[in-house]
Structure 1
Amino acid sequence: MPDAVVIGAGPNGLVAANLLADEGWSVTVLEAADTPGGAVRHDRGVHPDYVSDMCSSFYPLAAASPVLRGLHLEREGLRWSHAPAVLAHPLSDGRCAVLSRDLETTRRNLDGFAEGDGEAWRRLTLIWDKLGPDILQALFTPFPPVLSAARLAAKLRGAGGLRLARTLVLPVRRMGEEEFRGEGGRLLLAGNALHADLAPEAAGSGGFGWLMSMLGHSHGFPVPVGGAGALIGALVRRLERLGGTVHCGQRVDEVLVREGRAVGVRTQDGTEVRAVKAVLADVSAPDLYGKLLAEEHVPARVREDLRRFQWDFGTFKIDWALDGPVPWKAPEAAGAGTVHLADGVDELTRFAAQIAMRQVPDRPFSLFGQMTTSDPTRSPEGTESAWAYTHVPHEVKGDAGDAGITGTWDRHDRETMADRVEAQVERFAPGFRSRVKARRILSPTSLEELDANLHGGAINGGTANMHQQLFFRPLPGTGRPETAVQGLYLASASAHPGGGVHGAPGANAARAALRRRPVRRVFSGVQHMLTKRDRTGEPGIADSPAPAPHTT
């Protein structure tokens, strides 16, 4: 019996498993899919000469995460690569806002939109230089982050205090209007806010747009050399080197609970895998509480709160194999790894409003990834492995366009929506379609089939809006990985701090499990008595059995 069973071999599950193994725990990871990785995988499914990331691609949060840095995955062969520019936001008139890791490059670009906007951007970076390390520390530690929050509060007083706090909770539209005279800076902030399901008018979207922009400035939007799955490969190798195991094709159907404590799991084929100390679940909160736990183990208030759990937007994605570079109207976009496609902030608002009205957008805001520009190993020289994704409502009530997309995501819906996204690309890159050798369409249902955590194509584990963050995440009054079941921990993006590839939910769950005082356990009528001490000085579980009629 392993000390811990981890459900799910996504990045959070593997981070949790590695941290437990670092402390000498034996760990078994069970993954439903045939390969590990969750939403961090790549393949050659579009074209045999092209590497395509199947879900996520760019990892600024991974680059900034003290959790992942502490694992030293470079020792396992992981290497990062950057595009010349972090991101670009072209407009249909040929102008283009550019975010670079080089501050002077960004300043010159924004001054081209309005004199003085480069200096306004520099002021935002100075605030980040002062507060960024403590913000990241607070973000990546369990809630409440007492020490980092105290340091942050002290520094806030010196950085503008309440005025700065007011700025960061502004809607990104208003923040852009207050900070910049021209469109360039406003576009960078607003486009980055739309990486989550935050409309330009949503409270707090300004702070999120600023955070993502500053991560791009300080850490870039790097990609793993060779494909997204290289990150997962490094995590798996590290875990196996420490004695942990990963078993794929093992879907967990139930968390086993005895007298209020998680004692293991049951897989789809009926196999029971017992855990001596803990079960960690890298699954969505609705799946954990609504499917894996029997109803009697879920408090009535939790069941009631789950009815109000809100998913983030659905996602529609296309992968392309291009026989040449993207013919951008704005040449500055050619060197960016990520390109935001919307003709101004007003178009972003229009897009978000259509989703709020449960309509499929007619001009979908698209995040476009130029993977060969970011990592030359992704496709033959002179070509481009590319993708774009956009958001759609979970429940479709109508099509804002005139093509009759219904939201069933049948062949008609998929092909029609893919053509609509390509038409959006053509607005900013005339002739794009002539470069397409092959394409692959991943609808919201396709993404969920790849990873059950991506419910309806939701990539954030639940909305990033303020009413489901911090101590509201995933449910009011939680904010921590512990659950109502002793020894069971939520380790997915549904937990604080939420989505993104940074490993914090998994790390928080692992640390919570490690802090907990072990208790006596019974499996198959045999009690393993406490006869020795573990590394923390608390009693550990030995192998000497003694019969007992119950679990304590």
Structure 2
Amino acid sequence: MPDAVVIGAGPNGLVAANLLAYAGWSVEVLEAQPEPGGAVRSDRGVHPEYVSDLFSSFYPLAAVSPVLARFDLAAEGLRWSHAPSVVAHPLRDGRCALLERRVQETVSGLEAFASGDGAAWLNMYGMWSRVGSDLVQALFTPFPPVRPALRLAAKFRAAGGLRLARTLALPVRRLGDEEFRGDGGRLLLAGNALHADVAPEAAGSGAFGWLMSMVGQSHGFPVPVGGAGALTAALVSRLERSGGVLRCGERVASVAVRGGRAVGVRTAGGESVIARRAVLADTSAPVLYRELVDEEHLPGRLLRDLERFQWDFATFKVDWALTGPVPWTAAQAAGAGTVHVADGVDGLTRFASQIAMGQVPDEPFALFGQMTTADPSRSPAGTESAWSYTHVPQHITSDAGPDRITGRWDAAEQEAMADRIEAQVERFAPGFRTRILARRILAPTTLQAMDENLHNGAINNGTTALHQQAIFRPVPGTGRPETPVKGLYLASAAAHPGGGVHGAPGANAARAALGHCGLRTLLHRAQRI
């Protein structure tokens, strides 16, 4: 009979379990899939000589996460690697916007696009240097983040106050236009903003683009040596050394509630697992409240609000084993771990507009990962383990391209969409297709089958738009890991602060569970790690 049961062994579930185990609780983690990791896994499924990440690959938010930093995962064997350059956004005329590891090199590259743009980037980075650490603490702290917010407010006043707040509220297109004369800085900001499901014209997209760009400038976009699964392996190793138990292939069918309190779970196999103190759910909010907890235990308002819950974009991904480097027309893109493939900011706007209309984009914005460039252990020397993903609507109404894709995602539609992504890459790297040794297609339905939190390929467990963030995440009036059921905590990216591999939702849930059990000393200890 463990003190806590954690549903799901994704990164947030493993972080939560680690914190509880460190605080002295007995913890049992139940994972439906045959292996742990959620969306942090790797394999050799494309080609036996190539390591491919199944879902996520680059971890800038892990690099700045105060939770993961204090776990000392290096002691569990985790090592990080970086590509020579962080992000590239090539243009078909051979120019390339480049986010370099060193700020002065980024500045020099942007200055080549337009005089003064290097200084503009340096000014933005200076702002990050003043407020970035406190901003991250505020983002990764349970809502409301009182102490970090007070420190951040003081820094904001010193950095320009209302003018800085206005800058971060801007759509990323407007932010780029205000700050830069040339295309380079605009492309870096807008491309990084499109890592989430926000259009270049959406309010707040500027803040997201700035955050991702500045994190990339200060910490890079690191990858685990040997594959994404190495990060999961380190978290599992730490948990097991602390006495935690992980059971894979154990699907939780329901949360047991007695007298308004969660007292355990029941598995799909009929086993009852009693939790003496808490149940933590690394699941999506709709699954927790519509499938795992009986409706009678939940307020009607919550259930009605869930009808308005918005998923982020669906995702379509292709993995490749390449016989050689990608032949980018813009040669500088060859050294970047992450490459943004789109025809400028207008191409990004067109892409987001098509998705907003329910259309499958005809020229999809492709996030492209060059994994061997970032970590030479991923494939034989002279080759490249690569992937690309793009977004499609959750509910497809039509196809802006010629293939009549409907969202059935049968074999024909999967092949057509994969070919479309390859054609987009080919526009910027003629000859790319001649270097494909093998490929694997991961359609939205495939992604969900491998990780139920990725609803139809939604990688952020709910939209990152402002109307579903902070006190609105996952529904209005929440923003914290506590649920209407005592002893039950939402520990997934469906809770504040949302998606990305940083562990904050899991850490927030664990600390809430410790605090509500009156373990102040242990809570204080847990907050230090």
Q: What amino acid maps onto 1:108 in structure 2?
A: S
- DSSP-derived class of the 1:36 partner: coil
CA distance in 2, matches of 1:435, 1:402: 25
Instruction: Kindly report the root-mean-square deviation, in angstroms, between the aligned alpha carbons of the 2 structures.
Output: 1.1
- DSSP-derived class of the 2:165 partner: helix
Q: Does 1:511 align with 2:511?
A: yes
CA distance in 2, matches of 1:214, 1:233: 28
Which residue is equivalent to 1:544? none
Which sections of structure 1, spanning at least 5 residues, go unmatched?
519-532, 539-552
- DSSP-derived class of the 1:37 partner: coil
Q: Does 1:12 align with 2:16?
A: no
| 8 A contact 2:355–2:392 mirrored in 1 | yes
CA distance in 1, matches of 2:290, 2:520: 34
Which residue is equivalent to 2:265? 265
Map 1:368-383 → 2, pairs under 5 A:
368-383=368-383
- DSSP-derived class of the 1:243 partner: coil
Q: Does 1:43 align with 2:78?
A: no
Q: What amino acid maps onto 2:265 in structure 1?
A: V
Which residue is equivalent to 1:187? 187
Which residue is equivalent to 2:482? 482
Map 1:70-85 → 2, pairs under 5 A:
70-85=70-85
Which residue is equivalent to 1:409? 409
Distance 1:245 1:537, change over 3 A: closer
Q: What amino acid maps onto 2:8 in structure 1?
A: G
Q: Give the C-alpha shift of residue 100 in structure 1.
A: 1.1
Q: Give the C-alpha shift of residue 412 in structure 1.
A: 1.1
Structure of larger gyration radius: 1
Q: What amino acid maps onto 1:390 in structure 2?
A: T
Q: Give the C-alpha shift of residue 94 in structure 1.
A: 1.1
Map 1:212-231 → 2, pairs under 5 A:
212-231=212-231
What does the per-residue CA deviation read over 1:25-79, in whole Å, with 9 as the maximum and x for residues that have no partner?
A: 0000000000000000000000000000000000000010000011100000000
Q: Give the C-alpha shift of residue 534 in structure 1.
A: 9.2
CA distance in 2, matches of 1:93, 1:419: 23
Q: What amino acid maps onto 1:371 in structure 2?
A: M
Distance 1:409 1:128, change over 3 A: same
What does the per-residue CA deviation read over 1:352-395, in whole Å, with 9 as the maximum and x for residues that have no partner?
A: 00000000000000000000000000000000000000000011
CA distance in 2, matches of 1:534, 1:286: 32
Map 1:359-370 → 2, pairs under 5 A:
359-370=359-370
Which residue is equivalent to 1:241? 241
What does the per-residue CA deviation read over 1:167-224, in whole Å, with 9 as the maximum and x for residues that have no partner?
A: 1010000000000000000000000000000100000000000000000000100000
Map 1:357-506 → 2, pairs under 5 A:
357-506=357-506
- DSSP-derived class of the 1:74 partner: helix
| 8 A contact 2:7–2:30 mirrored in 1 | yes
Q: Give the C-alpha shift of residue 517 in structure 1.
A: 2.9
Q: Give the C-alpha shift of residue 428 in structure 1.
A: 0.5
Q: What amino acid maps onto 1:304 in structure 2?
A: R
Q: What amino acid maps onto 2:491 in structure 1?
A: A
Q: Give the C-alpha shift of residue 537 in structure 1.
A: 11
Q: Give the C-alpha shift of residue 92 in structure 1.
A: 1.2
Q: Give the C-alpha shift of residue 536 in structure 1.
A: 5.0
Distance 1:12 1:537, change over 3 A: closer
Which residue is equivalent to 2:285? 285
CA distance in 1, matches of 2:184, 2:298: 49
Q: What amino acid maps onto 1:39 in structure 2?
A: A
| 8 A contact 2:138–2:148 mirrored in 1 | yes
CA distance in 2, matches of 1:230, 1:334: 25
- DSSP-derived class of the 2:125 partner: helix
Which residue is equivalent to 1:529? none
Q: Give the C-alpha shift of residue 535 in structure 1.
A: 5.5
Which residue is equivalent to 2:342? 342
CA distance in 2, matches of 1:157, 1:418: 48
Q: What amino acid maps onto 1:437 in structure 2?
A: L
User: How high is the sequence identity, in percent, across the aligned residues?
Assistant: 71
Distance 1:418 1:537, change over 3 A: closer
| 8 A contact 2:514–2:520 mirrored in 1 | no
CA distance in 1, matches of 2:298, 2:179: 47
Distance 1:534 1:91, change over 3 A: closer
Runs of 4 or more, structure 1, over 3 Å off, are 533-538
What does the per-residue CA deviation read over 1:405-454, in whole Å, with 9 as the maximum and x for residues that have no partner?
A: 11111111100000000000001100000000000000000000010000
Distance 1:330 1:485, change over 3 A: same
CA distance in 2, matches of 1:328, 1:347: 18
Distance 1:74 1:536, change over 3 A: closer
- DSSP-derived class of the 1:253 partner: strand
Which residue is equivalent to 2:148? 148
CA distance in 2, matches of 1:221, 1:360: 29
TM-score (norm. length: structure 1): 0.94
CA distance in 2, matches of 1:444, 1:297: 32
- DSSP-derived class of the 2:221 partner: coil
What does the per-residue CA deviation read over 1:489-526, in whole Å, with 9 as the maximum and x for residues that have no partner?
A: 000000000000000000000000000136xxxxxxxx
